[in-house]
Amino acid sequence: MFNLPETHFNFGGDEYIYAEISRDMRIESNFKALAVTDELRKREIPGIIDIVPSNSSYLVRYNPDIIPARDLLDLLKEIDLTKSNPTKLHFSVRIVEIPAWYDDPVSKEFSFRYRNRHPSPDLSDFEFVMKVNGFTDKEAFIKAHSDTPYLITMVGFLPGTAWHFPLGLQPNEIIQAPKYNSPRAETPERGMGLGGAFNVIYPVSGPGTYQLIGRSAVSVVDQHNHSDDLEETSFLARPGDIWKYRPINESEYHKITNEERTGKHTLKMKEIDLSPLEYAEKGKQYIQELMEDF
């Protein structure tokens, strides 16, 4: 048996408590951040204004006139301790399929537009990511990237942006790449980015530093209320969910985007129970079991 990492608490001015579970990104730390912040929301504690889980930490904003800082800190420590035993943690999450057009011309055009900010100006972003990960075959790279399920560990930056981290892999198996030397001024909407070991899908056009390797055929934010799948929050991403890419070609990309525009496309999803303990004990095998029949 093992416990999840110990949390260190710090005050941020008069309205914030920052809880750091680990300095480096660990799936176990993210499980704990999700569990604690879920419990905080369920309790609906007077005085808490906002609760923000992150990759390996969480932030709580509060009104000190309603709940004293030390009282809140004691409460956070109590909840945090109860969420340190993985045998008692279970998450109800979704597996969501993301149809992805890899190495598409729009991503390629944007990657060459900002060559002066790139660590390897002679290559497209897609080619650069392949090279730094030791791939010489495009289809082999696409298969390796799309065969991996990704856990949504944090949502932020631009509204609806979801950081997602590979599940079930050893460190030497993870596809990763350096970010741009300085940010692009613009990134295409739905652009699939890779920075370090994290993936993102840019919800709208905006700045960015992640390497562009393709485009999602589905929106991750519904700006026009076209999608029944996003009618509750307008955002596809939920911390703790698992995203799985499915490679598609240009024809299917345009078919899906047209269906989405007219409200006729339905996302492929599956509700599952996610056990941090089973993940820690079985790793890749457990993730493969979760992905069966999806």
Tell me which DSSP letter residue 294 carries.
-
Computed over every residue of the chain, the mean pLDDT equals 91
Given pLDDT bands bounded at 50, 70 and 90, which one contains residue 71? very high
The structure tokens 């295409």 sit at 188
Encode 222-239: b = buried (16+ Cβ within 10 Å), e = exposed. beeebbebbeeebbbbeb
pLDDT in tens, 264-294: 888 999 999 999 889 988 999 999 999 988 8
Instruction: Give tens-digit pLDDT for 11-70.
Output: 999 999 999 999 888 888 899 999 999 999 999 999 999 999 999 999 999 999 999 999
pLDDT at 1 over 90: no
**In the chain, where the domains are located:** 8-88, 92-291
**Is the pLDDT reported for residue 2 higher than 60?**
no
Fold exhibited by the domain 92-291: Cyclophilin (2.40.100)
Per-residue pLDDT averaged across 255-262, rounded?
A: 92
**Residue type at 75?**
L
Sequence-ordered list of residues with C-beta below 8 angstroms from that of 47, at least 6 positions apart, any chain: 62, 63, 64, 65, 66, 67, 72
Q: In whole angstroms, how far apart are CA 152 and each of 78, 184, 265, 289?
A: 26, 24, 23, 19
**Strands annotated E in the chain:** 8-12, 16-20, 48-53, 57-62, 91-102, 150-156, 161-166, 184-187, 191-195, 198-201, 206-208, 211-216, 242-247, 269-274
Tokens 């008692």 belong to residue:
88
pLDDT band at 225 (very low <50, low <70, confident <90, very high): low
Is the pLDDT at 127 greater than 80? The verdict is: yes
Is residue 98 predicted with pLDDT exceeding 60? yes
Instruction: Provide the pLDDT for residue 226.
Output: 52
Domain 8-88 has CATH 3.30.1360.40: yes
Return the pLDDT at 222: 77
pLDDT tier, 262 (very low <50, low <70, confident <90, very high otherwise): confident
Angstrom distance (rounded) from CA 72 to CA 69: 5
pTM attached to this predicted model: 0.90
For residues 181-189, average pLDDT: 94
Least confident of 39-48, 76-85, 122-131, 136-145: 76-85
Please say if the pLDDT value at position 241 is more than 90.
Answer: yes
Bigger pLDDT: 84 vs 118: 118
Check residue 77 and give its pLDDT: 95
CA geometry: angle 145, 32, 12, nearest 5 deg:
110
Q: Give per-residue pLDDT as tens, 137-165.
A: 999 999 999 999 999 999 987 778 999 99
Of 176, 241, 253, 237, the residue nearest 202 (C-alpha): 237
Domains 8-88 and 92-291 share a fold: no
- Please report which confidence band the pLDDT of residue 89 belongs to, taking 50, 70 and 90 as the band edges: confident
- For residue 85, what pLDDT is reported? 82
